[in-house]
Amino acid sequence: KLQREVRAAEEARNWFLNSNLRLVVAHARKFRGAEGIDFIDLIQEGNLGLIRAVEKFEWRKGFKFSTYASWWIRQALSRAVTEKSRTIRVPGRLSDAAATVHAIKNRLQAELGRDATIPELAEESGLSEAHVEEALAVKDSVSLESPVGEDGAMLGDFVMVEDDDNDPVTRAESLAVGEDLRQAIDRLPARERRILLLRYGFVDGEPKALPDIGAELNLTPERIRQIEKVALCRLRHPSFGMSEEALL
């Protein structure tokens, strides 16, 4: 009986893998053409992400496998490109930190109307000030304009959400991400949920600034920012099935 159960589990695992190979190919195409890593290698790396997703997926939690698997596949592909591509000459972990810090820097610059300070970036990212400075310095050797795709895609395209309404496939993917994000937000505690709904513009289509949300909830803008940070940390957990791209 035990052998039958093991065999059944293995068959189910293989079925999941074979049924989602197209998902791997779809994500791998977005990285195709990166210098130093060919398409077959990208497929293999994406498959490793898919295998990881199958191993960790818990269907009882109610989220879609395709969304969950996409998170793991993109993580595997991103790391493969940053570690193996000759266009990127720093360790993958440092490159990840650089992408995160630069994304936070851009967001704070838009919110504050000025360049963010090192302490502000450290607080937002959870890194030490020394690590923030190191991540910022990476830009000299790892430009967000480094090509990673045969279609002219840049590394920054995988840090920031693309804006290509003329492409129906991209548009459909963007809408799906938005719906998945909304569903994920609905699983958060009430206050965190309200803050993110306002920040992402799900309430009336207009993203709200920290002071506006603070006035509504009778909290300071700084407190709103702290709660937002906690909520985003929750959403980044694989159990929510959200890609990093959708949260930047």
pLDDT in single tens digits along all 248 residues of the chain: 667 776 777 777 777 778 788 888 888 888 876 666 777 888 888 888 888 888 887 766 666 778 778 888 888 888 887 776 544 444 555 556 777 787 788 888 877 778 888 888 888 877 788 778 877 766 544 444 454 444 445 444 444 333 443 333 343 344 444 556 667 788 888 898 888 888 777 776 667 888 888 888 998 888 888 888 888 888 777 666 655 444 54
Both 95 and 111 in one domain: the answer is yes
6 and 84 in a common domain: yes
Instruction: Answer whether 191's CB lies under 8 Å from 217's CB.
Output: yes
Q: Alpha-carbon distance 146 to 149, whole Å?
A: 9
pTM over 0.75: no
Provide the token pair at 120: 């502000």
**156 domain-assigned:** no
Residue 52 belongs to a domain: yes
Is there a single domain that holds both residue 121 and residue 81? no
Q: Are residues 212 and 241 in the same domain?
A: yes
Q: Which domain holds residue 59?
A: 1-89
Buried b (16+ CB within 10 A) or exposed e, 110-136: eeeeeebeeeebbbbbebeeebbebbb
What pLDDT, on a 0 to 100 scale, did the predictor assign at position 36? 67
* Nearest-10 crossing angle of helices 65-84, 92-112: 110
Instruction: Look at residue 26 in the predicted model and tell me its pLDDT.
Output: 86
Helix (H, G, I), strand (E, B) or coil at 163: coil
In a shared domain, residues 175 and 245:
yes
Is 216 among the domain residues? Answer: yes
How many distinct structural domains can be found in the chain? 3
The predicted structure's pLDDT at residue 178: 54
CA atoms within 13 A on the CB side of 19: 10
Listed as own residue / partner, the contacts of 156-165 with beta carbons closer than 8 Å and 24 or more positions apart are 158/30, 158/31, 158/74, 158/78, 158/245, 159/99, 159/102, 159/103, 159/245, 159/248, 160/103, 160/106, 160/245, 160/248, 161/245, 161/246, 161/248
Domain membership of residue 125 (yes or no) is yes
Assess whether 101 and 171 both reside in one domain: no
* CATH number of the domain enclosing 223: 1.10.10.10
Q: Is residue 146 part of a domain?
A: no
Query: Is 172 inside a domain boundary?
Result: yes
Q: Determine, yes or no, domain membership for 149.
A: no
In a domain, 148, yes or no: no
